[in-house]
Structure 1
């Protein structure tokens, strides 16, 4: 029997969904029941907490995902695939491989995710765009696209954070066009939920460096002020509010957004439509 999962949220690593879609999920934007799947969960990377050994690091990161999913009342599943350093990648090579299928793990990821999706009533796959060119993000995006196409399932793409904050809007658009020339952006106003999003990000104690939080803030802010004139931006009061927001935990009334890319959002409910 197939399970009743309607939306599958695909995360390359622990924290990617929290970083990139934490505000959108707090609005129940996607039709549930939802399942968050983390693909690459065997890790030796813990920049914020000194933990000895890959096994312990992987276990703690897994528990961070579990707590995040519990807070958002979504289901969670973890795949056991190794992150690039454990597959023999150098730091430079992680961001230099533009051919995801050349990695031997690609086929394994494809079969595992395809089997999971076919076992559900999945109507929507929520995939990373692959911004930043991290090999795991590129593999995940490519696999999600392939599975969506083969099974005639709708797919949308989130902007991978923190990487999105380091790119121009033009660079993000170029990446979107490389996935599909028909992709269009959809902004979700997450202003009321933003502080809650940051608190949930802090669940990822192994990963949640302060600089990452600032980069996530800056992206949400620039999506909110994208269409403002230079005159509006440099008003002293506005500049003060923006800086206060970026470098403190003060709550200020400025518009903040996340963004997904889609080829048509048919089927989204009224609440979702009003989030733009």
Structure 2
């Protein structure tokens, strides 16, 4: 089930994942979500940036480049990506809430008009933070005992940074996931942890039995894989190679963070003093 309003949710959830874009939850922690569902613990993926760009807007050069990389016209971007998300969430067994915010390149096109700006400091007055702050507190009020998962902000995409900071304002259990594929870049994780300067500790979940499910969900986001493989993994590819390149990167990183004696892991970060997690 996917809804567009919090009031339309009919279930109680053990796990609530804040996903800035249509793909971040599956890319970063899809195996853990699938494992939770398999254990009978309902999962809600809250995807923030799901609004279609206005039909009359003037797109920046950066937005036009993304459209070309994705192989999608502006009118088809969100239609296509939402269909991909429907497939991915079905594979994971999760429900979805689409918040309807605009992606940074559409929300403030004159500001986030270059990769340096998009992966730099969030702009003063960016309205997304207020939206996210209010949303996080509404979710906590509605689901007081659920664990909230948020991006750590590795890679510094402004939408990820704002989601990370909004999640930090709520009480109760919160875990931050490592943003994939940004986290594979050498030093990116350490840089982000230094910037945050929070008291956090790592927590690794073993995902040996759920790697196939995560990869299947990631593959559903066909429009995104080539651009992510090239821009974030540094792997120029032909059209048919994107799935294999991404799958190799996912497996390689999951092996790097796996607990001793296990094959694959997904790593999260929690507040050092939070005793709910072992």
**TM score, norm. by length of structure 1:** 0.73
**Alpha-carbon distance in 2 for matches of 1:160, 1:100:** 21
Q: Structure 1 residues 83 and 181, CA, compared in 2 at 3 Å: closer, same or farther?
A: closer
Report how many residues are paired: 235
Moved more, 102-111 or 27-36: 27-36
5+ residue gaps, structure 2: 1-6, 53-62, 227-241
The aligned counterpart of 1:130 is: 153
Q: Is residue 2:76 matched to residue 1:56?
A: yes
Q: Deviations over 1:49-79 (max 9, x none)?
A: 52222x4211221122222222222211111
Aligned to 2:118: 94
Deviation at 1:198, TM superposition (A): 1.3
Does the CA contact (< 8 Å) of 1:165 and 1:218 recur in 2? no
Call closer, same or farther: CA 1:194–1:7 in 2, change over 3 Å: closer
For 1:227 and 1:101, the matched residues in 2 are separated by 44
CA distance 1:31–1:47, shift in 2 (3 Å): farther
Instruction: Please list, as runs of the form range in 1=range in 2, the aligned pairs for 1:114-193 lying within 5 A after superposition.
Output: 114-146=137-169, 148=170, 152-168=171-187, 171-173=188-190, 175-176=192-193, 178-179=195-196, 181-193=198-210
CA distance in structure 1 between the aligned counterparts of 2:199 and 2:128, rounded to whole angstroms: 29
Extract unaligned runs of 5+ from structure 1.
229-253
Q: Does residue 4 of structure 1 match 2:28?
A: no
Alignment of 1:230-249 (within 5 A): none
Q: Is the 8 A contact 2:144 2:172 kept in 1?
A: no
User: Is the CA contact 1:40–1:80 (under 8 Å) kept in the aligned structure 2?
Assistant: yes
Aligned to 1:238: none
User: Relative to 1, partners in 2 of residues 1:101 and 1:188: Cα closer, same or farther, differing over 3 Å?
Assistant: farther
